Amino acid sequence: GQNIDQPTEMTATEGAIVQINCTYQTSGFNGLFWYQQHAGEAPTFLSYNVLDGLEEKGRFSSFLSRSKGYSYLLLKELQMKDSASYLCAVRRNSGNTPLVFGKGTRLSVIA
Amino acid sequence: DGGITQSPKYLFRKEGQNVTLSCEQNLNHDAMYWYRQDPGQGLRLIYYSQIVNDFQKGDIAEGYSVSREKKESFPLTVTSAQKNPTAFYLCASSNSIRQGFNSPLHFGNGTRLTVT
């Protein structure tokens, strides 16, 4: 089967750094995606990793270790608007196949 | 601006009625997808289509039907056979055939369906 695990909820302080972990066990791997979703809205694409290592995009970075089936999303200089759910998703096969999503991590940023 | 339009945003139906959710995209994407989102469940795949006139069942296709007669449109019908239809439905598209494996999904704003 397909298994993608993320913590259900996290809380962090404005201005701090938070790391959201994702572990996966899937039949096939062709890349891992992170999405941000505010309540009642559409998910928006944040990052993509297919090779091991860190990808940095402004305040957000994403890391992948394929041998460990592990990824994390790092958010720096947290802002109140970063309060949202963060979804980890895996593409198992070629580009035409859908993404398999984890259940998401709800992040609350507090003052 | 290009994007994906889902309508309506909120939909109410009586139990036993079929209902069709609209999804239109003007991004010229080949692939389109329907996901369902329930609290604590994450996104689960209902159906997807990689090309016009072709579609595949996802993990939870029972009680749903789709069509892909045009590249821009991928409507989802929730039939009376779907046991728990109340949910948030998200449509997405991607340019996977041209871009390859790193093409992200672009989502519509969703339709919240309530069946009573």
Distance CA B104, CA A27 (A): 20
A102, closest residue in chain B (CA to CA): B42
Mutating which of A33, A96, A105 best tests the B interface, going by the most B Cβ atoms within 10 A? A96
**Cβ–Cβ < 8 Å for A35, A87:** yes
What pLDDT was estimated at residue A28? 87
Q: Tell me, yes or no, if A16 comes closer than 8 A to chain B by beta carbon.
A: no
Q: How far is B39 from chain A (nearest CA, A)?
A: 9
Q: Is B104's CB within 8 Å of A48's CB?
A: yes
pLDDT in tens, A29-60: 989 999 999 998 999 999 999 999 999 999 99
**Cβ–Cβ < 8 Å for B91, B32:** yes
Non-local (6+) Cβ contacts of B108 within 8 A are A42, B3, B4, B5, B6, B23, B25, B90, B91, B92
What pLDDT was estimated at residue B98? 59
Q: Is A42's CB within 8 Å of B109's CB?
A: yes
A89, closest residue in chain B (CA to CA): B43
Non-local (6+) Cβ contacts of A90 within 8 A are A2, A4, A24, A26, A29, A31, A32, A33, A99, A100
Count of Cβ atoms closer than 10 Å to residue A38 Cβ? 13
H or E element in which residue B30 lies: none
Count of Cβ atoms closer than 10 Å to residue A58 Cβ? 7
Closest CA to B43 of A107, A62, A23, A87: A87
Distance CA B111, CA B39 (A): 15
What pLDDT was estimated at residue A8? 96
Q: In chain A, which among 36-55 make CB contacts under 8 A with chain B?
A: 40-45, 48, 50
Longest dimension (CA), chain B: 42
Q: How far is B52 from chain A (nearest CA, A)?
A: 13
What pLDDT was estimated at residue B1? 61
Q: What are the 10-residue block averages of pLDDT along chain A, 111 residues in total? A: 91 98 92 94 94 95 97 98 97 81 97 95
β-pair type (A60-65, B4-7): unpaired
Non-local (6+) Cβ contacts of A81 within 8 A are none
Q: Which residues of chain B have pLDDT under 50?
A: none
